[in-house]
């Protein structure tokens, strides 16, 4: 039992890491649900990589990495908007251009500074081992803000997931609520990068939400399943990292992806059993449904 639970009681730093990880899991569950439903993975991924130069520059200047990430995210989103609107290039092209441009700039900044070369790995893959209460308080505030935004904007967000035109014809502004949603994605990336890294944060945004999508019949239950799946991934990932000396961020994200794969196998098996059962029922009671198909 000590293997599973005791380590979190005995090790204070590991407890902090668990709290930080759980906050990331719940934040990513809310945001990730809409990333999955609206197919925003590419822009989310680009945003996650696009914050790199801001974080690197902030570290060089000795200010908070989160502040640098905010500046980078704003530049990235504005840039995507400008390229998209002014140059009339497709959204994908605009995102791709800004994505590689910002990533290259980030690598250039880190490569010019000897002190930052080692930090690049921590930015990309996370540095949960150095998480502090100050980070956790920022994550908690971000989670409360994101939960509030979801509560207030759930109706236009739902409409956005079905059809953008439906948002406008229902009296909401599709543009405004799309931008609010993108701000949610940016905030999630910014407050999660220390825990799982900018490269792996997308894993926490997508994998638990995709697991939720397999079983849920309502958005709220999709978020709850995603939060549960993400939290389990954090717990197992941290345990694996502690006992087998593995990279924590990668362990968490890999666990989330494995949980998705197992859930998908379970869901498909359940579906085929239910289909077979229905076929058997139809065979035994061919007129049971009372519908006439022409």
Partner 1 sequence: MASVTATSHSPISADHLCVGYGKRPVIEGVTLDMQPGELLVLIGTNGSGKSTLLKTLAGLIKPVHGDLHLLGEHAGQLPKRVAYLPQHPVSSHTLPLCVRDMVAMGRYAHLGLMKQTSAHDREIVEESMTRVGIEAEADQPIRDLSGGQQQRTHLAQVLARQAEVLLLDEPTAGLDINGRKLVADLVSAERARGVTVVMATHELNDAEHATSVMLLAQRVVSVGPPEVALRDEFLRECFGFTQPH
Cβ 75 to partner 1, closest distance in Å?
A: 28
- Closest of 53, 100, 96 to residue 74, by C-alpha: 53
Interaction mask 3-42, partner 1, x per CB under 8 A: ---------------------------------xx-x---
Cβ within 8 Å of residue 283, ≥6 positions away: none
Binding-site member from 83, 153, 186, 202 for partner 1 (CB under 8 A)? 153
**Shorter beta-carbon distance to partner 1: residue 27 or 33:** 33
Token pair listed for 283: 């065979």
Q: Which residues from 71-130 bind partner 1, rule CB under 8 A?
A: none
- What three-state secondary structure class fits 15? helix
- Closest of 293, 267, 172, 154 to residue 210, by C-alpha: 267
Using the contact rule CB under 8 A, the part of the chain among 11-19, 97-105, 208-216, 259-267 near partner 1 is: 208-216
168 binds partner 1 (CB under 8 A): yes
- Closest of 162, 198, 164, 193 to residue 178, by C-alpha: 164
Per the rule left: phi > 0, alpha: psi between -120 and 50, beta: everything else, 39 is left
CA dihedral for 40, 188, 196, 107, sign (positive or negative): positive
Size of the site for partner 1 (CB under 8 A): 29
155 binds partner 1 (CB under 8 A): yes
Binding-site member from 158, 224, 232, 246 for partner 1 (CB under 8 A)? 158
The residues that touch partner 1, with contacts defined as CB under 8 A, are 36-37, 39, 152-153, 155-156, 158-159, 161-163, 165-166, 168-172, 210, 212-213, 216-219, 221-222, 294
């Amino acid at each position: 039992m000590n293997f599973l639970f005791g380590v979190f009681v005995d090790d204070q730093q590991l407890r902090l890491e668990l709290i930080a990880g759980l906050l990331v899991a719940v934040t990513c569950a809310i945001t990730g649900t809409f990333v999955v439903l609206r197919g925003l993975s590419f822009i989310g991924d680009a945003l996650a990589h696009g914050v790199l130069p801001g974080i690197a520059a902030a570290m060089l200047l000795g200010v908070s990495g989160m502040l640098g990430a905010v500046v980078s995210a704003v530049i990235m989103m504005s840039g995507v908007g400008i390229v998209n609107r002014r140059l009339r290039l497709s959204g994908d092209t605009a995102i791709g251009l800004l994505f590689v441009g910002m990533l290259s700039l980030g690598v250039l900044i880190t490569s010019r500074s000897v002190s930052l070369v080692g930090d690049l790995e921590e930015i990309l893959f996370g540095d949960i081992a150095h998480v502090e209460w100050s980070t956790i308080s920022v994550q908690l505030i971000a989670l409360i803000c994101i939960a509030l935004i979801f509560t207030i904007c759930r109706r236009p967000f739902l409409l956005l997931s079905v059809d953008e035109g439906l948002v406008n014809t229902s009296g909401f502004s599709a543009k405004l609520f799309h931008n609010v949603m993108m701000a949610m994605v940016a905030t999630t990336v910014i407050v999660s990068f220390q825990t799982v890294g900018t490269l792996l944060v997308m894993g926490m945004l997508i994998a638990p939400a995709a697991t939720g999508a397999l079983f849920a019949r309502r958005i709220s239950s999709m978020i709850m399943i995603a939060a549960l799946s993400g939290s389990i991934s954090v717990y197992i990932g941290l345990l694996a990292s502690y006992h087998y000396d593995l990279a924590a961020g990668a362990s968490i994200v890999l666990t989330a992806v494995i949980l998705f794969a197992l859930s998908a196998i379970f869901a498909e098996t359940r579906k085929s059993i239910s289909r077979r059962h229905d076929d058997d029922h139809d065979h035994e009671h061919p007129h049971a449904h009372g519908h006439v198909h022409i």
